[in-house]
Structure formats: structure tokens, C-alpha cells
Chain A
Amino acid sequence: MTPAGSENAFAYLRKLIYDNCAIVLEADKRYLLEARLTPMLTRERLTSFDELVARLHGSNAGPLRQRVLEAVTTHETSFFRDLHPFDLFRKTVVPRLLNERSGTKRINLWCGASSTGQEPYSIAFIIKECGLQLGGWTVDFTATDLSEEVLARARTGLFTQLEVNRGLPVPMLIKHFDKVGLEWQVKPDLRNMINFRKVNLMEAWPAMPEMDVVFMRNVLIYFDVATKKRIFDRLARIIRPGGYLFLGTVESTHSLTEQFQPIQVGKAICYQRIS
């Protein structure tokens, strides 16, 4: 049964989430907060959302606040989500990169919404299969997320059967995973390819090299317009002229930034930083 909660408690939670993650939750999204936070209330032995808010007001509430934010911001994910953008990356962007970066033989890549790892590992499988690391090339691949909890999982490369069922082509399961007990684990060379670290997109971004490719998929959808514009400005600074940006299927740069132009191939779109 869903625990009770006053309108004041939910208003407080909405503000907490907006202030820390810039995720806008209107009052009619109460069901979403209930769905995401009820398991946590049970774990914490709290009987109502008001009790949760009272605890958040108490001293040493930092870890609890982090758990609330993580519960709300952890989204559904799957390998090769939406499929087509990954085809575009493999068939169009990677060949371009091999040409454009042939001088330095170095490619810098950032996945800004790692979650439990399905997205960065999908990219890593393509990088490996395209032989990008062969012939003296270096791939500097950073994957970030707001949540330490999901990053810890992502680093292990362990996925349940239900998770590898979602979106992963079986030839890739055979090639890139080991069966470990009841779970499947990404092979060590692929796990080592990715540097997983915590980054809150709302706060200062850590020093990162100029990026050739950024995947920032299904994150911006939760932000308000002003925050989206701010993030696009920062992306324009971190992505090299001519570099590539991948957004979620329902996200776009339209009326938010003039610094990227779309590249459409078939059903997929990515965005190129204007030179």
C-alpha cells in the first residue's frame, strides 16, 4: 500500500528535486514520486511521506537526501535503447572519426547518463567491434551519472538475465559477456575501457578533455527550458567544433541552441557542433 503524504510533503520533495537536479515535477506527478519513493520508505521504516520530509529536515540528512534523489532520477534503461542512434554512431560517426582524428589517433567520448551501464557498454561494444582501439588509437571514454549507486553497479558490468534480454543482440552477448552464476558480466577489457565517475550536470563539470562525441540521451527531457539552454551552452564548450552530440529520441536542440546542426541518417538524428 502506498504510504500517506500531505500536499506540503510532496511540495517539499518537488522543490528538493528541482533545487538539486533541476528536474521539474508538476503537482500532478505525485504518482511518480510515490512510485519511486515508496520502496525507499519501506526500507527506511518510514510510514508516511511527511515522516520522510521530517527526517530530511533533521541533522545528518545528507545521505538520505542523496538516496531520495537517486530513487527519483534512476530511469529505465536498456542496451541499444532506440537502436537507430547506435546504428548512426557505428555506420556514420565512427568512420568520420577515423578520418577526422587520424592525425592524433585519439577519440574522447562522454556518456552523460550512464545509469546502470547499458548505454556506455552498448557504445563500448561498437568501439571494440569497429576496431577503434587497434592500430595505435586511444579511446578516452568517460561515463557519468548523478547516482553513485548506479555507477557502482555499472562498474561491475554485471547484468541479470532480464537485463541482457532488453535490447542486446545475442551475438554481442556471446562475444562480450561471461556467464557468472545466474548473471552475465561484461568482459574485463570492456569494463576497463570506461571510466565511470559521478557528475551532477547541474553542478560544476569536472575537467574533461575536449570531446569528439557526447551521448546525453534521455536526461534533458526532465529539465526546464532555462536549464536545458545552460547545459547546451556547456556542451557547446566541451564538444570540439565538428564533434557529435547524441540526444534521446524525443529530445532536440530546437529553439534551445544555435550551436549544433542536425545530421539525419535514416530514422536517426545526431547533432554536430558547428565549426
Chain B
Amino acid sequence: MRALIVDDSRTMRRIVGKVVRENGFDTVLEAGNGQEALNHLRECRDAPFALALVDWNMPVMDGLSFVQAARAEGFSELPIIMITTEGSLEYVTRAMEAGANEYLMKPFTKESLHDKLVLLGFETTT
């Protein structure tokens, strides 16, 4: 199972990557912004990602624009979790309306990310 982690912070990519590996994902690809992530999706149409975990605030293309672009390009089945410091009801609603499947507010615990994975149907061993 392959996950795509999109965050401009290398530290955050490492933390999220560790948790998703613990939860049964064997391959993790990283992107530093939405545009890089979109390129990964296009390149991997034959072996699609099982999950994308996406920060909101990033240079070049932010997370919300990535979600909108991915859905517009036909990646409609890709489960997307927004992971962001944006914690207002307005932001949460905008992300879900754009097509995100779940939303996790930073700071988060690895248990809370595990919960989100379970909500999206990824049965894990934790």
C-alpha cells in the first residue's frame, strides 16, 4: 500500500511517514508542495496511491488547491486527509467541500492519525 505525504516541512513528512508505516503502508512518497504531489499522482496513474496526507499552507501550490486540482483531474477515488494547523470551522468546511475525506488539526498525536486511517477503512495493527 502506497501513501503520498505532502508537506513543506521535512520534519513533518518524517513524522507522518513513520505513523503511516506503522499502520501498514509499505511505501511512502513525499512531496514538498501541491504541484509536486500532483506530478506524482500523474506519474503513478498505473499504480495509484491508496492515500494522500496533505498540509494546507505550502509554497507553489497549497493543500486546498491540490485537493481541488486532484479531484478535477479525475483522482476522485483517492482518500485525502488534510493535516494542518488551520483549526477554524471555516477552513474545515472549505477542505471538505473541496473534496478532502478527513481533516486532522495540528498538533496531533499518532493515535489521532491512526483513528483517521481507521475511519477511512484502513484496518491497522496499532
A-B contact pairs, 18 of them (CB 8 A): A78-B115, A80-B119, A83-B118, A83-B119, A162-B107, A162-B112, A164-B105, A165-B105, A165-B115, A166-B111, A166-B115, A169-B119, A170-B102, A171-B96, A173-B92, A173-B103, A174-B93, A178-B89
Cβ–Cβ < 8 Å partners of A171 in chain B: 96
- Smallest CB-CB separation from A177: which chain B residue? B89
Cβ–Cβ < 8 Å partners of B93 in chain A: 174
At the interface, yes or no: A179 with Cβ under 8 Å from chain B? Answer: yes
Given A83-B119, A162-B107: A170 touches B96 (CB 8 Å cut-off): yes
State the CA gap A169–B103 with chains docked (Å): 8
State the CA gap A178–B118 with chains docked (Å): 25
State the CA gap A57–B37 with chains docked (Å): 64
At the interface, yes or no: B88 with Cβ under 8 Å from chain A? Answer: yes
State the CA gap A171–B109 with chains docked (Å): 20
Chain A interfacial positions (CB closer than 8 Å to B):
78, 80, 83, 161-162, 164-167, 169-171, 173-174, 177-179
A161-B105, A166-B115, A177-B89 provided; 6 other pairs, C-beta below 8 A?
A: A83-B119, A161-B87, A162-B107, A162-B109, A174-B93, A179-B89
The distance from the CB of B114 to the nearest CB of chain A, in whole angstroms, is 9
Cβ–Cβ < 8 Å partners of B5 in chain A: none
Chain B interfacial positions (CB closer than 8 Å to A):
87-89, 92-93, 96, 102-105, 107-109, 111-112, 115, 118-119
- Smallest CB-CB separation from B113: which chain A residue? A165
State the CA gap A197–B109 with chains docked (Å): 31
Cβ–Cβ < 8 Å partners of B115 in chain A: 78, 165-167
- Smallest CB-CB separation from B119: which chain A residue? A169
Cβ–Cβ < 8 Å partners of A173 in chain B: 92, 103
Cβ–Cβ < 8 Å partners of A161 in chain B: 87, 105
Cβ–Cβ < 8 Å partners of A162 in chain B: 107-109, 112
Contact A165 B102, beta carbon cutoff 8 Å: no
- Smallest CB-CB separation from A267: which chain B residue? B123
